């Protein structure tokens, strides 16, 4: 974070600075902000956030005792330390982050989408690290608290910021984009995800489209030409600098005029894609070192964003080739010859589950999809799970094992082609271990929403399958 003093902070958050007779003055320097009293370091500013199950004000005294210089609070506190009183500490966190962002002149990318946005973020960061210092969103810090905390890490040394924006209700992306003020923004895709907070799929589309509201007049918005919402975005952004990325495939409507696209896609034995990236009259071969044909679209999206910041097509290709797998996202563990366990457990929605099935189908041998419940899908959750089961049949995978109340609808749809449902993880793992003994070549892909805790299945399988061999990441 940039060094600021308490008086500057109070002005940035429109708060009242109360020194409370302490020896700390308004020119005391702040170099770090935290909202977690367990994370306090000497010299910090502690912001007392309220949540449904906690109140940061209860820990303000402890934060000061542990070395915090001052507190931002929604009411006066009896502390021997300065307190900045504001109406809403959550909003003040955002105000402070926006003020820090404004003082740091960094070229900024922001992206949203129902799936793939973390992969696009990692690809953009890898590309841009070849040209300067990059601040990128860590983990799932993509909501109205995570985005400000990310922006507060900006320093004068940063050249680029790559910020992921998520949401579970309308207005959240408009708010976080307003804090971020990106130069270029992306809507990667729209699919049934967090539908409960938006009503239906069109509610999701409108919420993702809020990302353009924080763009400056000369900012550029990129959208997905392969999306069913392409025509909607053409109309929505008719008065903006709007560009389109796409993957050239048989389903792409002929009327879609893409500004950057992929063609000539090939998958290798590990399911990793190579393709030709097309930008104007330039052509560049690109290798994606993580499995899944769906990552071609993610790579093209990252290329679009970075090209907007002046990165040439050769650097884009080398940056994509250098990316490292993100934990829980298509991590391929080869635990012994001809046995692969793919960890895609970070999260799940309909589109990402279908993409995972397609990736699984590209492997040789017997292919088993293991699906935990997909959360936050609203009133049509069972139908969405059935849709995933039907996609498994269409893709030609060999079996679908499910765990959870909702996912049972997927395996029931898959019945006749295999399809088995389990009520407990132990029974699921036992069945998978038995399958390992029956198949000469086997790939198991495990996926589910965070609430399903499907990473435990991956851990159990790796432990059972390789007592002596360390798993290795493919591609």
- Would you list which residues are annotated within the binding site for ATP? 113-119
Enumerate the H helices of 44-200 as residue ranges: 60-65, 89-103, 117-128, 146-151, 172-180
Cα gap 71→46, rounded to integer Å: 5
Distance, CA of 279 to chain centre: 26
Cα gap 295→293, rounded to integer Å: 5
Contact 104, 2 (CB under 8 A): yes
Reading the block at residue 454, the tokens are 């499907």
Cα gap 272→315, rounded to integer Å: 20
Cα gap 461→341, rounded to integer Å: 8
DSSP state of 473: B
Contact 220, 308 (CB under 8 A): yes
Cα gap 214→236, rounded to integer Å: 15
Task: Give which of 423, 433, 372, 426 is closest to 400, Cα–Cα.
Answer: 372
Give exposure, 285-314, as e/b (b: 16+ Cβ within 10 Å). Answer: ebbbbbbbbbbbbbbbbbbbbbbbbebebe
Contact 192, 163 (CB under 8 A): no
Cα gap 332→350, rounded to integer Å: 21
Cα gap 88→248, rounded to integer Å: 48
- The pairing of beta strand 366-372 with beta strand 33-34: unpaired
Give exposure, 267-284, as e/b (b: 16+ Cβ within 10 Å). Answer: beebbbbebebbbeeeeb
Cα gap 279→282, rounded to integer Å: 5
Cα gap 392→466, rounded to integer Å: 28
Q: List the binding residues.
A: 113-119
The CB-based long-range contact list for 130-133 (8 Å cut-off, 24+ gap) reads 130/315, 130/318, 130/319, 131/159, 131/160, 131/311, 131/315, 132/158, 132/159, 132/160, 133/157, 133/158, 133/159, 133/160
Which residues have CB under 8 Å from 8's CB, separation 6+?
A: none
């Amino acid at each position: 974070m940039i060094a600021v003093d308490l008086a500057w902070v109070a002005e940035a958050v429109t708060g009242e600075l109360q020194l409370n007779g302490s020896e700390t003055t308004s020119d005391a320097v702040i170099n770090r902000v935290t909202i977690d009293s367990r994370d306090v370091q000497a010299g910090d500013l502690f912001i007392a956030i309220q949540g449904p199950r906690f109140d940061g004000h209860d820990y303000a005294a402890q934060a000061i005792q542990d070395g915090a210089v001052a507190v931002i609070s929604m009411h006066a506190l009896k502390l021997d330390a300065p307190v900045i009183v504001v109406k809403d500490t959550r909003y003040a966190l955002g105000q402070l982050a926006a003020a820090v962002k404004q003082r740091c002149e960094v070229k900024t990318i922001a992206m949203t989408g129902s799936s793939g946005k973390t992969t696009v973020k990692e690809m953009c960061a890898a590309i841009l690290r070849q040209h300067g210092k990059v601040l990128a969103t860590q983990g799932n810090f993509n909501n109205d608290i995570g985005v400000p905390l990310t922006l507060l890490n900006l320093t004068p040394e940063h050249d680029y910021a790559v910020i992921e924006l998520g949401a579970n209700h309308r207005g959240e992306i408009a708010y976080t984009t307003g804090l971020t003020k990106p130069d270029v923004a992306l809507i990667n895709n729209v699919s049934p995800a967090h539908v409960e907070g938006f009503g239906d799929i069109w509610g999701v589309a409108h919420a993702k489209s809020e990302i353009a509201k924080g763009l400056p007049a000369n900012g550029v918005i990129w959208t997905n030409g392969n999306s069913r919402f392409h025509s909607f975005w053409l109309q929505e952004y008719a008065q903006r600098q709007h560009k389109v990325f796409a993957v050239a495939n048989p389903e792409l409507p002929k009327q879609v005029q893409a500004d950057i696209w992929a063609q000539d896609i090939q998958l290798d034995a590990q399911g990793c894609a190579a393709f030709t990236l097309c930008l104007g009259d330039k052509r560049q071969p690109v290798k994606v070192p993580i499995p899944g044909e769906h990552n071609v679209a993610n790579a093209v999206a990252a290329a679009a964003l970075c090209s907007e910041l002046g990165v040439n097509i050769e650097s884009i290709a080398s940056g994509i080739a250098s990316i490292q797998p993100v934990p829980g996202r298509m991590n391929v563990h080869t635990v012994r010859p001809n046995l692969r366990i793919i960890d895609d457990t970070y999260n799940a929605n309909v589109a990402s589950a279908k993409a995972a099935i397609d990736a699984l189908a590209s492997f040789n041998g017997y292919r088993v999809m293991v699906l935990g419940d997909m959360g936050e899908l609203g009133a049509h959750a069972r139908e969405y799970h059935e849709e995933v089961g039907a996609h498994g049949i269409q893709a030609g995978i060999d079996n679908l094992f499910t765990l959870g109340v909702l996912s049972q609808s997927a395996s029931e749809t898959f019945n006749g082609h295999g399809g088995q449902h389990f009520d407990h993880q132990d029974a699921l793992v036992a069945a998978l271990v038995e399958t390992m003994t029956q198949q000469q070549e086997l790939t198991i892909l495990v996926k589910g929403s965070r609430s399903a805790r499907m990473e435990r299945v991956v851990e159990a399988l790796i432990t059972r399958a390789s007592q002596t061999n360390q798993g290795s990441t493919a591609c």
